[in-house]
Chains A and B, each alone.
Chain A
Amino acid sequence: MSGPSIHVERLVFAYPDGRQALFGVDFTIQRGERVALLGPNGAGKTTLVLHLNGILGSVAGGSGSGRIQIGGSDLHREHLPEVRRKVGLVFQDPDDQLFMPTVRDDVAFGPANLGLRGADLEARVHEALVQVGMQDHADVAPHHLSYGQRRRVAVATVLAMRPEVLVLDEPSSNLDPASRRELADILSGLDVTLLMITHDLPYALQLCERSLLMDDGRIVADGSTRDLLGDAHLMSAHRLELPYGFDPLSVPGPER
């Protein structure tokens, strides 16, 4: 497999009600990169992300134009299942992501759709749960877990499909500080390309060396997370604010 993990060119999209959400988005993410997608509410971040595995956009029968390549190959209707395996999407609300009666069934849902059965399936589920440290909770019902645990299981449900790109929609929202840190530990230990929508700017700095800043359906800035967060003018122009007392130049980041 060759080519960048994600390549998006002139992506335009309008919802069926006529509201246009994307006005020509271009970016490329190389293999193994960790990228944060920043931007105010309503900038089109989630809409963009739903294009990456073909849920929205022309491949899904919707309106829109532009070109999306995953792992070097174009997004086509015929290989949607393959693309959905390669691009793992973790939704914001774990209650949306976890819909089966037990954690084990839920993590098995993806790989079972890929055709895994029996012992292979069992092994895959275990592997994914170990990656997020939830192997002791396999038989628990999702709503008996804490919010942080549910978020981790939601990540496992996607990891079980062995994605090449992991896309997270606000992974740190609603987490207490300890769960937030535990999730960061898990995410930084994964060997995948990472694209993460977040409003949590210190989290973006901690995990992602690069950031895309999106506003009004366009990418308005693309660069190192530290430079972006340090640019006070750019930040205020797009309604982004650092937490009180946080100085992006004074903390360590993931840069090598």
Chain B
Amino acid sequence: MTGSAGDGLLVVADSRIHRLPAQVKIVALFVFVLAVVSTPAGVFWAFALYGALLVWCVVLAKLPPLVVMRRLAVETPFVVFALVLPFVATGPRVEVLGVSLSQSGVLGSWNVLAKGTLGVVAAIVLSATTGPRALLAGLERLRLPSTLVAILSFMVRYLSVVSDDLQRMRIARESRGYRGGRAGHLKAIAGGVGALFVRSFERGERVHLAMQSRGYTGRMPLLSESGAARVQWVEGLAISLAAVVIAVTARVVGL
């Protein structure tokens, strides 16, 4: 039912991007997003270049375009917000097809859409080429505090266990004839979440016992053994550095 949760969003393939160490990819994503966000919204050619870079990435990573499209759905709330902007923003107005729109609203809408989409696609590339374990190892290499890494790793491990618990509780509820409609369901879930919390808390205690039994003294063993080679850093950061160059150029040209 929820068996796929543990693989996260990994698309299994063998590509140059898949083979890069996770820490390189995380830094690359971060730098790329920073470059995109710092670009003024009006410099359209820069966004076209960013888009091209990302498409190249997707091709290089051998990701099916359809999968990328489908995962873009997480962006929907922002899209809705962006589409509303031209109608609600104030300031000078323009007529488009007989509808009066706010000029700054249109630009703001474009800003949200373009930057959001680029960021989401970049994140999709990272998540589709890196397994959850590699991602954790990468964060650990990047010196994320080990407690945070441990919390994330428990989340990866127990998400499916907890969602199975939730599923079982729902089945048990419905098997006993529970029908409360949408609102009633929410109410039942609220109660269920309380029970789930208690269950999870107790499980946490048992897990802690199991950890102590195997000599846990407060330090998790490291997940990763080796760092990334310089070549890998250069290779992984190439696209992000290109994005930085574009961003800087856009700024300079805009002056």
- Residues on A lying within 8 angstroms of B by beta carbon are 50, 53, 55, 81, 84-85, 88-89, 91, 93, 95-102, 105, 108-110, 112-114, 118, 141-144, 157-158, 161
B6, B154, B213: the one within 8 Å of A84 (CB): B213
Residues of A near B216 (CB, < 8 A) are 109, 113
In the assembled complex, the CB of A65 is this many whole angstroms from the nearest CB of chain B, namely: 22
Distance in angstroms between the alpha carbons of A91 and B216 in the assembled complex:
16
Cβ–Cβ contact A84 & B136, under 8 A:
no
Distance in angstroms between the alpha carbons of A110 and B136 in the assembled complex:
19
Cβ–Cβ contact A109 & B160, under 8 A:
no
A105, A110, A141: the one within 8 Å of B214 (CB): A110
Which secondary structure dominates chain A's binding surface?
helix
Cβ–Cβ contact B209 & A55, under 8 A:
yes
A84, A91, A108, A161: the one within 8 Å of B206 (CB): A91
Cβ–Cβ contact A143 & B214, under 8 A:
no
Distance in angstroms between the alpha carbons of A161 and B210 in the assembled complex:
13
Q: Which of B209, B213, B223: most chain A CB closer than 10 A? A: B213
Residues of A near B161 (CB, < 8 A) are 95, 143
In the complex, residue of chain B having the shortest beta-carbon distance to the beta carbon of A142: B157
Cβ–Cβ contact B207 & A84, under 8 A:
no
Cβ–Cβ contact A101 & B133, under 8 A:
yes
A85, A95, A113: the one within 8 Å of B221 (CB): A113
Cβ–Cβ contact A143 & B157, under 8 A:
yes
Which secondary structure dominates chain B's binding surface?
helix
- Residues on B lying within 8 angstroms of A by beta carbon are 3, 5-7, 132-133, 136, 153-154, 156-158, 160-161, 203, 206-207, 209-217, 221, 223, 225
Distance in angstroms between the alpha carbons of A96 and B206 in the assembled complex:
6
Cβ–Cβ contact A84 & B215, under 8 A:
yes
Cβ–Cβ contact A97 & B210, under 8 A:
yes
In the complex, residue of chain A having the shortest beta-carbon distance to the beta carbon of B6: A141
Residues of A near B223 (CB, < 8 A) are 101, 105
In the complex, residue of chain B having the shortest beta-carbon distance to the beta carbon of A50: B209
Cβ–Cβ contact A99 & B157, under 8 A:
yes
Cβ–Cβ contact A55 & B213, under 8 A:
yes
Cβ–Cβ contact B153 & A101, under 8 A:
yes
Cβ–Cβ contact B213 & A100, under 8 A:
no
In the complex, residue of chain A having the shortest beta-carbon distance to the beta carbon of B136: A101
Residues of B near A88 (CB, < 8 A) are 213
Distance in angstroms between the alpha carbons of A102 and B224 in the assembled complex:
13
Residues of B near A113 (CB, < 8 A) are 214-217, 221
Distance in angstroms between the alpha carbons of A77 and B241 in the assembled complex:
55
Given contact pairs A100-B157, A143-B3, enumerate 12 new A-B contacts (beta carbons under 8 Å). Answer: A85-B215, A88-B213, A89-B210, A95-B161, A96-B210, A99-B210, A101-B133, A101-B156, A113-B215, A113-B216, A144-B3, A161-B214
